[in-house]
Amino acid sequence: MMRTCYFCKGKVVNQPTSVDFWWADELKIIENVPAGVCQQCGEKYSEGNFYKEMERLAKGAGGAVRRLSVDVVRYSPA
């Protein structure tokens, strides 16, 4: 069955994706999440128990495969 995007009616294709997940003050990026991605607008659709599993991983299960450094910039109009 082909799925279509709720927002733009684009085609949703199964595609492992990266998801940004905030856990308290920490940002975890979870790679290789099984999800459907709209080919038109990029909206992500979760599969099954995805959120609960992400929460488990964000709490530290499995450990990190690598680290990224992220800059935090304060908004200030020019």
Sign of the dihedral through C-alpha 13, 14, 20, 24: positive
- 10 binds Zn ion per the rule CB under 5 A: yes
CB of 9 to Zn ion, least distance (A): 7
- 40 binds Zn ion per the rule CB under 5 A: yes
- 43 binds Zn ion per the rule CB under 5 A: yes
Return the closest-CA partner of residue 54 out of 23, 24, 25.
23
C-alpha to C-alpha distance for 19 and 68, rounded to whole angstroms: 14
CB of 3 to Zn ion, least distance (A): 10
The residue ranges that bind Zn ion (CB under 5 A) are 5, 7-8, 10, 38, 40-41, 43
